[in-house]
Structure 1
Amino acid sequence: MLSKRIIAVARGRGLLRAHNIQTAAISKSWSLTANHARRAQFHSSRLLQAETVKVPQMPESISEGTLKSWNKQVGDSVAADEEIAAIETDKIDIAVNAPISGKIVQLLANEEDTVTVGQDLFIIEPGEAGESPAPPKQESKPAETKEESVPKETPSPAADKVKEPVKSKNVEKAAAKEPKREEKSKQEPPKPVAGSRGETRVKMNRMRLRIAERLKESQNAAASLTTFNEIDMSSLMEMRKKYKDAVLKEHDVKLGFMSAFAKACSLALREIPAANAYIEGDEIVYHDFVDLSVAVATPKGLVTPVVRNSEGMNFVDIEKEISRLGKRARDGKLTLEDMAGGTFTISNGGVFGSLYGTPIINLPQSAVLVRQSMHAVKDKPVVVDGQIVIRPIMVVALTYDHRILDGREAVTFLVKVKEYIEDPRKMLLA
């Protein structure tokens, strides 16, 4: 009997031990499963939070552009609304901004690629701008648990392993940026060497291609004709000299010749409405307002921002608007709304030293006036009241679409502008 009890107790202890081992194994399995689940949930949550930014909607009929530059690289921290990339179209440059603060995870296009509206552009992971990248933080957690049993004086090998990837990433990032600088320097045209007969090919930017297309379209469509006239600038120059300091002090804007020509053209267009019209099909459309396109030279090409409703503006208002649009043009900040819908164009050819010029009409407009700058005003002998006197003379040219304007109307328009400029007081009575 005793032996049977001993055998039973032994079997019971064995079963208990097996049960304990099985329970420990199950507990360990649950713990590992829970850890994997937590890690999977962490990684999946980070992955789900990442946002793919697409090429933004562009104005009017523009559906594609060229990715000109990345302002940020993979791993860079960015703030909300910070500019990440610039896309060049045939009319304006479009900035792509970060929708949230975070870190750039991936760039999905290369510079000089053609990108379309709605195309995936880059991936951003949310976070505070300027915070350290997330992966090193994840790797540091196991290192801290291992260091608990290691004395503080002993350097932790795990900690060294954590630091190494950070350094290597920085090195890789610096190495990645270095070739780009070399590539950009290679793109710059080399300086010609004496006696060299080499050639350099540079791809036309989209704006230059569009300008070429529009100018050729104007040549093919419009029946262009140009008429010239000379304007005595004495009275206007005297008025400008007398009031320019007061205008600059009171309104913080320079009083130039452009405002006088803009006002004179606005008044002349009311008297010759055909110069402020355009052809659409078999109809002529006349405007009741004057939106002046003012030509501004930029590094990428000539642009024509619009001074709207110039017929109701005075000299100072026109100068302020031209100054504002000119600054935006030089900074590359013009929008499509700034350039759309002009009814008549004024260009300033003399700023580069030109004396005569025959401009090309900016379709669908019917006329364009070219005036020369102060540098192109030449002292000439003229007859005034039977006496030969020296006067500052400016040559102006009007190119017009002969399909809309007859020669009589075009010449009359230019004479009206001449009369207003030679006696600016007439503009106050008009």
Structure 2
Amino acid sequence: MTPKRLQHFSQSVSSYQFRTYAEKIVKVPQMAESITEGTLKQFSKQVGDYVEQDEEIATIETDKIDVSVNAPESGTIKEFLVNEEDTVTVGQDIVKMEPGGDPPSGGREEAGQSPKESASRDQETASQPKGEQEQQKTEDISPKSSGEKMPEPSKQEKVSQSSQLNNQEPPKKQQASSSKEYETRKSDSAFGSREERRVKMNRMRLRISERLKQSQNTAASLTTFNEVDMSSLMDLRKLYKDEILKKTGVKLGFMSAFSRACILAMKDLPAVNASIEGPNGGDTIVYRDYVDISVAVATEKGLVTPVVRNAESLDLVGIEQSIADLGKKARDNKLTIEDMAGGTFTISNGGVFGSLMGTPIINLPQTAVLGLHAIKEKPVAIDGKVEIRPMMYLALTYDHRLLDGREAVTFLVKAW
């Protein structure tokens, strides 16, 4: 090999090594021990966009939370290795990017936001009505600047134009045809729209469905009800809510009071806070000295149950603050796996949606779930007199394999 060819080969190898070194592959991050795959819901950037380090590139939807895929370092996106709605696994390559380089002029705000070229006159755009598009096409081909003669209108067109100019009725043939079309359209829409849409369930909804059916098929579920007078609790809240809000910034609600009441009742009935675990449906009862309360929160994607840890060590304000923080994270789609893992007892407040009464489903492997409902003014007998009081129905769904009816009813009575 001549020195010149050797030099050219050396430069080619160096260039190839540099490009190989420069490429950076972004992989699906570790999500949790129990989550190995997800659905790549969307890419936040496009090929050719410049991204900063830790800037979000894509979102992966799992059966519990949405996971963000962030850029490991600053650079330019070169290629997407998967498509949106594809199932991806932990460690799988999803994006190829070229590290380094400078962001486009105008700063980070303009990165990935270059304006698209406006459609040419010949192109159809979504903002143009169809009639305008047809009119434009007609204007483009009309011989305005040429000496060509326009074809003379047909006899039928002349009659129509003459009728319009003289405010005369159109011929009977056209009128009959128009009437027939109107009758056809009328008959088509007589019963309204009968369209159907099929939408694939997202992973969270699929997981919720699976868990709910698992609960129904595993636990011997039974629900007991009680009615509670909310007068005292409402008076307490009214007396202290402004002061607590001013001192701590926490809005005092009812969830903290019910949580605290459950914790106190569990001291006499620890089985409510226990669970059945083990093979073949469970052969071991696990009793706990701590109380982790799962709070049901409704989100756009489905019901989630973030957990208030060691609720037995918190006062009313502490519980209320924890519930508020978890609720905000759930609505902002910022919950982590750790926020929802575990839980020994669940409280679901359907009353915020106006529910009068319902039977909540147990969140396995827990043993019980308390359902709160709407507060309604009702006439009740008080010391031999009829009074109007704010009343609420409570529903305790429990696993009859571990709790008997006596313990379940006693739990409700002790708490309220």
> Which TM-score tier does this pair reach, normalised by the shorter chain?
0.7 to 0.9
Q: CA deviation at 1:220?
A: 0.5
Residue-by-residue CA offset, 1:99-134 (whole Å, 9 max, x unaligned) = 0111111110110000111111111111155147xx
Alpha-carbon shift at residue 38 of structure 1 (Å): 4.3
Matches within 5 A, 1:66-215: 66-128=39-101, 130-131=103-104, 195-215=192-212
1:65 has 2:7 as partner: no
Contact 1:296 1:304 in 2 (8 A): yes
Distance 1:119 1:346 in 2: 38
| 226, 229, 233: which one aligns with 1:232 | 229
Measure how far apart 1:286 and its partner are: 0.7
Instruction: Decide whether aligned partners of structure 1 residues 385 and 294 sit closer, same or farther in structure 2, where only a CA change above 3 A counts.
Output: same
Q: Which residue of 2 aligns with 1:379?
A: 377
Counterpart residue identity of residue 275, structure 2? Y
1:329-351 deviation per Cα after TM superposition (whole angstroms, max 9, x unaligned) = 11111111111110000000111
In the TM superposition, residue 171 of structure 1 has moved relative to its aligned partner by 8.5
- Report the AA paired with residue 96 of structure 1: V
Q: In 2 relative to 1, CA 39–312 (structure 1 residues): closer, same or farther, beyond 3 Å?
A: same
Runs of 4 or more, structure 1, over 2 Å off, are: 32-44, 170-175
TM-score normalised by the chain length of structure 1: 0.74
CA-CA distance at 1:195 after TM superposition: 0.6
Instruction: Give the aligned CA root-mean-square deviation in angstroms.
Output: 2.3
State the one-letter code of the partner of 1:404.
Answer: L
Distance in 1 between residues matched to 2:32 and 2:284, nearest whole Å: 27
- Within the candidate set 393, 397, 400, 2:398 is matched to 400
**Larger CA Rg, structure 1 vs 2:** 1
What per-residue deviation string (whole Å, max 9, x for no partner) do you get for residues 6-28 of structure 1? xxxxxxxxxxxxxxxxxxxx9xx
Deviation digits for residues 54-76 of structure 1, max 9, x if unmatched?
A: 11122122111000010011111
> What's the counterpart of residue 299 of structure 1?
300
1:254 and 2:251 correspond: yes
Residues 127 and 336 from structure 1, CA distance in 2 versus in 1: closer, same or farther, beyond 3 angstroms? same
Per-residue CA shift, 1:194-252, capped at 9, x if unaligned? 71111100000000000000000100101111011111111111111111111111111
CA contact (8 A) 1:265 1:417 kept: yes
1:321 aligns with 2:322: yes
How far apart in 1 are the matches of 2:268 and 2:341? 24
Determine what percentage of the aligned residue pairs are the same residue.
65
Q: Quote the Cα distance in structure 2 between the aligned partners of 1:59 and 1:128.
A: 33
- Which residue identity does 1:400 align to in structure 2? Y
In the alignment, structure 1 segments of 5+ residues that lack a partner are 1-25, 133-169, 176-180, 183-192, 419-430
Residue 340 of structure 1 corresponds to 341
Q: Does 1:354 align with 2:352?
A: no
Q: Which residue of 412, 415, 425 corresponds with 2:413?
A: 415
Give the counterpart letter for 1:323 in structure 2: A
Greater helix fraction, Structure 1 or Structure 2: 1
Residue 52 (1) aligns with residue 49 (2): no
Question: Which amino acid counterpart does residue 52 of structure 2 have in structure 1?
Answer: A
2:214 counterpart SS class? helix
Q: Tell me the secondary structure at the aligned position of residue 65 of structure 1.
A: strand
Q: Structure 2 CA distance, aligned partners of 1:412 and 1:171?
A: 67
Give the superposition deviation at 1:41: 2.6
| Letter paired with 1:306 | V
1-structure distance, mates of 2:362, 2:379 = 32
Partner-residue secondary structure (3-state), 1:203: coil
TM-score scaled by structure 2?
A: 0.76
Cα distance in 2 for partners of 1:332, 1:43 equals 43
Residue type at the aligned position of 2:202: N
Question: 1:78 touches 1:129 (CA, 8 Å); kept in 2?
Answer: no
The separation in 1 between residues aligned to 2:245 and 2:8, in whole angstroms, is 72
Match for 2:401: what amino acid?
R
Distance 1:406 1:127 in 2: 66
Deviations 1:264-304, CA, capped at 9 Å, x for gaps: 11111121111101111211111111000000000000000
Q: Shift in Å at residue 405 of structure 1? A: 0.4
Letter in structure 1 aligned against 2:64 = K
- Code of the residue aligned with 2:77 in structure 1: it is I
Q: Determine the C-alpha separation between the residues in 1 that align with 2:26 and 2:389.
A: 62
Count of residues in correspondence between the two structures: 335
Q: Residues of 2 paired with 1:62 and 1:125: CA distance?
A: 29
User: Residues 310-329 of structure 1, C-alpha deviation per residue, up to 9 Å, x if partnerless?
Assistant: 11111110111001100111
> What displacement does 1:91 show?
1.0
Alpha-carbon separation, structure 2, partners of 1:326 and 1:36: 62
Q: Which residue of 2 is the match for residue 241 of structure 1?
A: 238
**1:40 & 1:312 partners in 2: Cα distance?**
65
Q: Which runs of 5+ in 2 are unaligned?
A: 106-113, 120-124, 127-188
Q: CA deviation at 1:378?
A: 1.0
